[in-house]
């Protein structure tokens, strides 16, 4: 709430309030610097119709250490010889730094340089142009990031890394597959963050089901300490059948299941179904 009442105050007074609060907190220090800040605020409040009520509200809130006699003298001095501050004079008096100007949004006060002199018009324009370039750079970075993350990882991408993680002639459980692929980019969210651990089994199982539908892996259920466990293996026997599309009728079953004939295990390639070589980088 503005000092002295609920009515809105001019913007330069609100800027001084933010600056004083950021520098010294709620109460101004009991020294010459605190008194100078109080004088600056009273100079700005003197332009209002209800100067005395506004001044009393500010002094009661910010300078409780000031005596009543000093407050009365300060108000009378302000009315008798009010100073009209320019943006440069006020910035040099307060020694406003560029970082403070941005932090406390004191846009009507000019900051000072290393020599304590207020910025000129050229420096202000350069600072505004630099900020505009920085905002444009950040906007481009956000746009590029959104374009890069616009495409969600597809099931085919996750299936590829699951297939590449499986060794030949060996069965592996879903838990083992999760430990192999959980840190890969294909299993991250659209914004690049990793999924929650509880969703990893579902994602890996979907990738395995996709590979099973393409006859690239085989699954089986085995007994475990807590029930049945799903194990996955590369369909190497089907790969042999795919490489030999005509097969042989020697009575040897090259399928992944005893009751399945070898001719049924032809690989359905994801992008080139008429090729005989199974690619794991689909």
- What is the 3-class SS of the chain, one letter each residue? CCCCCCCCCCHHHHHHHHHHHHHHCCCCCCCHHHHHHHHHHHHHHCCCCCHHHHHHHHHHHHCCCCCHHHHHHHHHHHHHCCCCCCHHHHHHHHCCCHHHHHHCCCCCCCCECCCCCECCHHHHHHHHHHHHHHHHHHHHHHHHHHHHCCCCCCHHHHHHHHHHHCCCCCCEEHHHHHHHHCCCHHHCCCCCCCCCHHHHHHHHHHHHHHHHHCCCEEEEEEEECCEEEEEEEECHHHHHHHHCCCCCCCCCCCCCCCCCCHHHCCCCCCCCCCCCCCCCCC
Residue 175 and residue 71 share a domain: no
Place of tokens 């590029």: 144
Per-residue pLDDT at 236: 64
| 226 vs 58 pLDDT, higher one | 58
Torsion angles phi and psi, residue 90, rounded to 5: -65, -40
Residue 190 and residue 99 share a domain: no
For residue 229, the cross-strand partners are: 222
Per-residue pLDDT band for 145 (boundaries 50, 70, 90) equals low
243 pLDDT above the threshold of 60: no
Does residue 76 belong to any structural domain of this protein? Answer: yes
266 pLDDT above the threshold of 50: no
| 192 vs 209 pLDDT, higher one | 209
Domain containing residue 29: 11-123
Does residue 269 belong to any structural domain of this protein? Answer: no
Residue 113 and residue 46 share a domain: yes
Residue 159 and residue 119 share a domain: no
* Mean of all residue pLDDT scores within the chain: 76
Residue 171 and residue 116 share a domain: no
Residue 18 and residue 60 share a domain: yes
Residue 115 and residue 34 share a domain: yes
Residue 115 and residue 196 share a domain: no
Give the count of domains, the chain: 2
| 263 vs 178 pLDDT, higher one | 178
Per-residue pLDDT band for 65 (boundaries 50, 70, 90) equals very high
Per-residue pLDDT at 277: 34
Average pLDDT rounded to a whole number, residues 50-69: 90
Does residue 84 belong to any structural domain of this protein? Answer: yes
Per-residue pLDDT at 268: 39
Nearest to 3 by CA among 49, 57, 43: 57
Does residue 139 belong to any structural domain of this protein? Answer: no
Does residue 218 belong to any structural domain of this protein? Answer: yes
Average pLDDT rounded to a whole number, residues 96-104: 88
Which has the minimum average pLDDT: 6-15, 191-200, 248-257? Answer: 248-257
CATH number for the domain harbouring residue 236: 1.10.10.10
Which has the minimum average pLDDT: 81-95, 188-202, 205-219? Answer: 188-202
Does residue 213 belong to any structural domain of this protein? Answer: yes
């Amino acid at each position: 709430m503005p000092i002295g009442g609920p009515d809105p105050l001019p913007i330069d007074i609100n800027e001084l309030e933010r600056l004083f609060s950021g520098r010294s907190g709620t109460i101004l220090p009991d020294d010459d610097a605190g008194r100078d800040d109080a004088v600056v605020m009273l100079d700005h409040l003197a332009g209002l119709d209800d100067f005395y009520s506004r001044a009393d509200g500010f002094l009661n809130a910010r300078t409780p250490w000031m005596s009543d006699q000093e407050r009365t003298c300060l108000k009378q001095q302000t009315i008798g010889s009010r100073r009209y501050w320019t943006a440069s004079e006020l910035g040099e008096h307060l020694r406003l730094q560029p970082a403070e100007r941005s932090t406390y949004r004191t846009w009507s006060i000019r900051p000072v340089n290393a020599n304590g002199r207020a910025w000129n018009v050229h420096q202000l324009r350069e600072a505004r142009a630099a900020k505009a370039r920085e905002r444009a750079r950040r906007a481009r970075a956000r746009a590029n990031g959104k374009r890069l993350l616009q495409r969600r990882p597809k099931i085919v991408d996750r299936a590829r890394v699951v297939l590449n993680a499986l060794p030949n002639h060996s069965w592996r459980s879903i838990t083992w597959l999760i430990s192999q692929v959980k840190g890969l980019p294909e299993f991250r969210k659209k914004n690049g963050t990793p999924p929650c651990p509880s969703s990893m089994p579902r994602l890996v199982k979907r990738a395995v089901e996709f590979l099973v539908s393409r006859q690239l892996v085989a699954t089986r259920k085995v007994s475990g300490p807590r029930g049945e466990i799903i194990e996955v293996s590369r369909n190497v026997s089907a790969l042999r059948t795919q490489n030999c599309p005509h097969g042989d009728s020697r009575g040897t079953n090259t399928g992944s299941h005893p009751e399945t004939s070898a001719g049924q295990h032809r690989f359905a390639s994801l992008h080139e179904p008429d090729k005989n070589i199974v690619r794991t980088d689909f």
